[in-house]
């Protein structure tokens, strides 16, 4: 009976002759726009027979289905398991180490202050004792006693003042120490539960040394691009610095790893969509589901403040739009000009809502997030489908066209795959598991640009300097925030939108205050209505440009005349001088050459007729 019981207890060790706990170290990391693929290695002695190999203290964000094991040779893998454990505490994280070092420094300072107070109190005690001895000494002269009294009074006062000041420092330092200890306790609480663990069941025909390579995908990591764009003047090419901001909070530090950056995004579903028939019918606006406008821009965790301008489909500003950080009570509204700014806290998306428009739910992807809201079908009585496209001509070209001159830094190797582009960094990088970003320069280059001044005073009474880039497609640029510098001065930032279908990439280099624009309505005819029930509105506008520079400039100016989409609304008597007019879009454009200190005005007008009992969206 005892022998059987002993065999029963010994049976697990017969099935698995040994349990091995080697350390799994990250060696190679491919960081995607969202997520990362980590290749880790472990070297250990594997005995003959069946063994259980357990890799502990791993990231709790590992995708179990992505685990791949290589390097087994003649060893057979019986099973691969992944689980989350709640036992260990990661005491070696950079945050924990830094906080503990701060705590040690603060505790030493506390000890020094306490010792100082103790020394001062001891000195005070000695002085008081010595004062009694001198007072009891009958041989002491009156003059000596006076000198003793002055010295004791002054020194005791100094000691008490110094003790008071030191105790104040002690209290302040104690509060700082308590705060650091609270942060350590909080970090321990956060780190104490979730750790990943991979378990392998291996069968080896003989005892041998094994070097295993395990590849897996993790979340809570990614990278996003940022750019520094510099222009020395309007005659030289643009200077680009293309940077990757790498972040990871996987719970495991990547120390001295081979780093690769990929433009792929595994979080996007790989299943191709299917187009089904669209059956058009009347809708019940009260029961229709609200539409959501989505974007494929990835979430950018470094953004702490968002600003931008909200317009309608015609480009006019929308005041009073509600902007809320999803999952929080944090929000704001757009002002009269459609502008807004919002400090973000912990949300990952912003929700834009306005009566009569589709609600937009967009990941926080950049500091500047402009939005053109689309009218909601729920407010329409009938469905109207229109389509048009147009391109405004008259762009002035500076210089010859040329391929961009790429000055790629030697530490990055570009590799283009079928669907993605990868940048391999040829020196080891260490990226700790922190909320901060690690900035990696991908490449620097110059590219020819066509510079142009542009103004649309209907929307903004400013004149902007723009740069149009040709042949930019082979630069592998992704959408991202860009810091703009002109003549060595920072002029602001913009969002570089590289996913447009336009052939040319246009970058705004900021407004130029030395060129002034004004748009005003100068109607010389009164609005009137006829007895026939038709209302007539006359609109006459004057746009004035003034060049305060000492050099001549050319400004591309745009405005518009409304387009009727209803037979009962007539737009007639259009007058626009020598402006270029697009019949489909109603866009007016002028190329205005201004000499130094010169002013010019452009006028246009039109007349609108519509039934008197109805209202139109003219203003």
pLDDT of 296-329, one tens digit each? 677 888 788 888 889 887 778 888 899 999 888 8
Which has more confidence, 413 or 133? 413
* Confidence at residue 222, expressed as pLDDT on a 0 to 100 scale: 92
180: tokens are 């650091």
Cβ-based neighbour number of residue 73 at 10 Å: 11
* Confidence at residue 502, expressed as pLDDT on a 0 to 100 scale: 65
Triad 602, 465, 491: Cα angle to 5°: 135
Lowest-confidence region among 229-238, 353-362, 392-401, 517-526: 392-401
* Confidence at residue 267, expressed as pLDDT on a 0 to 100 scale: 72
User: Is residue 357 within 8 Å of residue 375, measured between CB atoms?
Assistant: yes
How many Å apart are CA 89 and CA 194, to the nearest integer? 9
pLDDT confidence band for 552 (50 / 70 / 90):
very high
pLDDT digits (tens, 9 = 90+) for 82-95: 998 875 455 566 77
Helix (H, G, I), strand (E, B), or coil: what is residue 359? strand
What does 187-223 look like in DSSP terms, one character per residue? HHHHHSS-EEEEEEEEEESS-EEEEEEEEEEESSEEE
**CA nearest to 23, candidates 283, 347, 259, 252:** 252
Residue 287 pLDDT > 60: no
* Confidence at residue 393, expressed as pLDDT on a 0 to 100 scale: 33
Triad 68, 36, 57: Cα angle to 5°: 65
**CA nearest to 238, candidates 510, 444, 501:** 444
User: Is residue 180 within 8 Å of residue 186, measured between CB atoms?
Assistant: no
* Confidence at residue 503, expressed as pLDDT on a 0 to 100 scale: 72
**CA nearest to 159, candidates 119, 112, 132, 130:** 119
Q: Angle between the 142-191 and 94-136 helix axes, to the nearest 10 degrees?
A: 160
* Confidence at residue 295, expressed as pLDDT on a 0 to 100 scale: 64
Residue 605 pLDDT > 90: yes
* Confidence at residue 119, expressed as pLDDT on a 0 to 100 scale: 86
How many Å apart are CA 446 and CA 458, to the nearest integer? 34
Rg (CA), the chain: 36
For the chain, the average pLDDT equals 81
* Confidence at residue 233, expressed as pLDDT on a 0 to 100 scale: 87
pLDDT confidence band for 618 (50 / 70 / 90):
confident
**DSSP class of 478:** -
* Confidence at residue 559, expressed as pLDDT on a 0 to 100 scale: 94
Which has more confidence, 523 or 553? 553
pLDDT digits (tens, 9 = 90+) for 421-480: 888 888 898 998 876 788 998 989 999 999 999 999 998 899 999 998 887 887 888 888
Is 426 exposed, middle or buried, given 0-12, 13-18 or 19+ CB atoms closer than 10 A? Answer: exposed
Helix (H, G, I), strand (E, B), or coil: what is residue 4? helix
**Contacts of 434 by beta carbon, 8 Å cutoff, 6+ apart:** 94, 95, 248, 249
Which has more confidence, 129 or 367? 367
* Confidence at residue 123, expressed as pLDDT on a 0 to 100 scale: 81
What does 274-326 look like in DSSP terms, one character per residue? -----------TTTPPPPEE---PPP-TT--EEEEEEE-TTS-B-TT-EEEET
pLDDT digits (tens, 9 = 90+) for 19-60: 899 999 999 999 999 899 999 999 999 999 999 999 998 999
């Amino acid at each position: 009976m005892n022998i059987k019981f002993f065999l029963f207890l010994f049976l697990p060790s017969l099935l698995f002759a040994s349990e091995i706990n080697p350390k799994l170290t990250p060696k190679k990391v491919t960081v995607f726009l969202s997520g990362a693929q980590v290749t880790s290695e472990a070297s250990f002695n594997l005995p003959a027979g069946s063994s259980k190999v357990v890799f502990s203290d791993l990231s709790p964000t590992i995708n179990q289905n992505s685990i791949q094991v290589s390097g087994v040779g003649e060893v057979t893998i019986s099973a691969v398991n992944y689980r989350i454990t709640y036992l260990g505490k990661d005491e070696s994280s950079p945050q924990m180490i830094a906080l503990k070092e701060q705590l040690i420094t603060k505790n030493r300072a506390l000890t020094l202050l306490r010792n100082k107070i103790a020394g001062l109190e001891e000195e005070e005690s000695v002085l008081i004792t010595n004062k009694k001895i001198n007072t009891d000494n009958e041989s002491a002269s009156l003059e000596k006693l006076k000198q003793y009294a002055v010295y004791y009074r002054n020194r005791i006062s100094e000691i008490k003042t110094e003790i008071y000041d030191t105790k104040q420092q002690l209290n302040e330092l104690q509060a700082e120490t308590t705060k650091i200890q609270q942060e350590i306790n909080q970090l321990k609480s956060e780190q104490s539960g979730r750790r990943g663990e991979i378990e392998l069941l291996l069968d080896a025909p003989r005892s041998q040394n094994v070097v295993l390579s395990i590849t897996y995908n993790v979340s809570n990591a990614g990278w996003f691009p940022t750019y520094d764009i510099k222009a020395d003047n309007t005659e030289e090419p643009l200077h680009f610095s293309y940077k990757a901001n790498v972040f990871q909070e996987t719970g495991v530090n990547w120390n001295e790893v081979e780093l690769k950056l990929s433009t792929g995004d595994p979080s996007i579903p790989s299943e191709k969509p299917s187009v089904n028939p669209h059956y058009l019918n009347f809708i019940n606006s009260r029961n229709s589901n609200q539409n959501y406008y989505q974007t494929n821009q990835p979430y950018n965790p470094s953004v702490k403040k968002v600003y931008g301008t909200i317009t309608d489909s015609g480009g006019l500003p929308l005041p009073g739009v509600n902007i809320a950080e999803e999952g929080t009570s944090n929000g704001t509204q757009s002002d009269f000009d459609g502008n807004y700014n919002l400090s973000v806290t912990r949300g990952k998306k912003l929700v834009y809502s306005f009566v009569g428009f589709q609600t937009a739910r967009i990941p926080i992807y950049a500091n500047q997030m402009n939005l053109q809201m689309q009218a909601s079908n729920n407010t329409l009585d009938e469905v109207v489908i229109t389509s048009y496209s147009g391109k405004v001509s008259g762009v002035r070209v500076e210089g010859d066209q040329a391929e961009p001159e790429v000055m790629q830094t030697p530490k990055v190797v570009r590799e283009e795959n079928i669907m993605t582009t990868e940048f391999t960094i040829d020196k080891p990088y260490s990226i700790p598991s922190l909320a901060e970003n690690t900035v990696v320069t991908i490449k620097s280059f110059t590219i020819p640009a066509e510079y142009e001044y542009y103004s649309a005073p209907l929307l903004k009474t400013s004149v902007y300097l723009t740069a149009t880039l040709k042949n930019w497609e082979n630069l592998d640029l992704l959408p991202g925030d860009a810091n703009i510098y002109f003549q060595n001065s920072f002029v602001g930032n913009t969002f570089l939108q590289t996913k447009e279908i336009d052939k040319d990439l246009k970058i705004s280099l900021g407004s130029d205050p030395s060129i002034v624009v004004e748009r005003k309505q100068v109607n010389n005819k009164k609005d009137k209505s006829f007895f026939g029930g038709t209302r007539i509105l006359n609109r006459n506008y004057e746009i004035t440009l003034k060049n305060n520079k000492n050099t001549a400039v050319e400004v591309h100016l745009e405005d518009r005349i409304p387009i009727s989409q209803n037979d009962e609304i007539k737009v007639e008597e259009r007058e626009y001088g020598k402006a270029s007019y697009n019949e489909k879009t109603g866009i007016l454009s002028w190329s205005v050459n201004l000499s130094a200190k010169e002013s010019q005005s452009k006028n246009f007008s039109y007349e609108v007729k519509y039934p008197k009992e109805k209202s139109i969206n003219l203003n």
